[in-house]
Amino acid sequence: MNSVPAATEEVASLCSDLIRFDTSNFGPAGSKGEREAAEYVAARLDEVGISSTLLESAPRRTSLVAEWAPEGCDTSLPPLLIHGHTDVVPAVASDWQVDPFAGEIVDGHVWGRGAVDMKDFDAIILAVVRERMRAGRAPRRPVRLVFTADEEAGGPLGATWLANTHPELVADCSEAIGEVGGFSLSVKDKRLYLIQTAEKGLAWLDLIADGTAGHGSMRNDDNAITSLAQAVSAVGSYTWPVRLHPAQRQFLDAVEDALGVEVNAGDAETTLARLGSIARMVGATMSNTANPTMLEAGYKHNVIPGRATAGIDGRFLPGYEQEFYDTISRLIGDRVRYEVSISEVAVETTFDGDLVDAMSASLRTQDPDAVPVPFIMSGGTDAKAWSRLGVRCFGFAPLRLPPELDFVALFHGIDERVPVESLQFGCRVLDDFLDRA
């Protein structure tokens, strides 16, 4: 009789398999591979007796929902939502040292697009659930497993669609864990484990300037491009006021304790630069932000167009959404207007309660020197959709990382990779967590 592999023994191969599904999400231009990835996850769950439901918001834009409530779990407790997404941002193979969709294991790392965002945690979930089912070890309470499509485009065809059209699949869950959080950050002789308790809201805006079309050789006092350029420059060069969210303050307190120096909130990135690229993330969560990302106008050198447009990636802190929109209106002036392309709420919860205690205890069980701290995420996750249904959301995808690995830079980056030992650590922490959560 063949021995059954433990979670730590198969997690790297599961991660590699998932990376081999090219699930690149091109936003409005569509996606690919999400159906195949969802079918793979369903097959791995089915092998251990867990049935899944596949749902499609559009052809081949496939999300998966599975109920894991084996005999022995306390069904009087509300389900815990554990969620991941299968789509990834695109990758240009010629930029990489390895094929981004080959899932190669090189130098103790699993390489490929999605290795840290977020097929690593997808694999950890699968590996732990499979081992526990084979061993007959139930979680403390029922678990709802959800793997979504379209997270990398804001989730309108994934989590948002599920929450809007099938809320009953998630609404009975009281709490959730998913990306981004639970990873270690080495600060001098301390290891902080960043647990996400908040994330900024999303406002993708289209700036629109209308003017008078005409011949390029003529004077024109109503040039749409000129008006738009002034608005874009004003938005792009604006310095937003510092706003310290409670999670940010707790994170900075932990960093100050580890570094032995005070972090000036107005110039945090300078002090935090020694921590690597996470300084940029911290800086981005000290205020609202708005970055011009696209420009479109005209079709010929000698024709003044009647319209010019620009794209803005806006992010606002919890509690500062109105300030964001009021500031944008003031900056762009009267000759330019904005339309909201995609808007998502900011998400926040507090760093306390039984689930936080369970996460902290599980980390310390595997790393006695772990210092769990909250942090606020500059980007967005599927937690936005679940939070609208009343689910309390945390970013907790545990990884103990080598100090020299610039982990944050690998999100959407070239040569994305995750250490195999980190995946195995994540399996052990999640396994322990399921007994406590």
Task: Give per-residue pLDDT as tens, 4-38.
Answer: 789 999 999 999 999 999 999 998 899 999 999 99
**43-82 as b/e, with b when 16 or more CB fall inside 10 Å?**
ebbeebebebeebebeeebbbbbbebbbeebeeeeebbbb
> Which amino acid, one-letter code, is at 176?
A
Contacts of 245 (CB under 8 A, 6+ apart): 198, 285, 317, 318, 319, 348, 376
pLDDT tens digits, 357-414: 999 999 999 999 999 999 999 888 999 999 999 999 999 999 999 998 888 889 899 9
Identify the weakest region by mean pLDDT among 114-128, 154-168, 204-218, 275-289: 275-289
- The bridge status of strand 347-348 relative to strand 109-111 is unpaired
Distance CA 172, CA 6 (A): 31
Both structure tokens of 366: 């595997």
pLDDT above 80 (res 263): no
Contacts of 267 (CB under 8 A, 6+ apart): none
DSSP conformation class of 394: E
pLDDT tens digits, 64-85: 999 999 999 999 999 999 999 9
Radius of gyration over every alpha carbon of the chain, rounded to an integer in angstroms = 23
pLDDT at 1: 43
Contacts of 147 (CB under 8 A, 6+ apart): 37, 38, 41, 63, 64, 83, 84, 85, 86, 122
Q: What is the largest CA-CA distance in the chain?
A: 86
Q: Within 10 Å of residue 98's Cβ, how many Cβ atoms?
A: 16
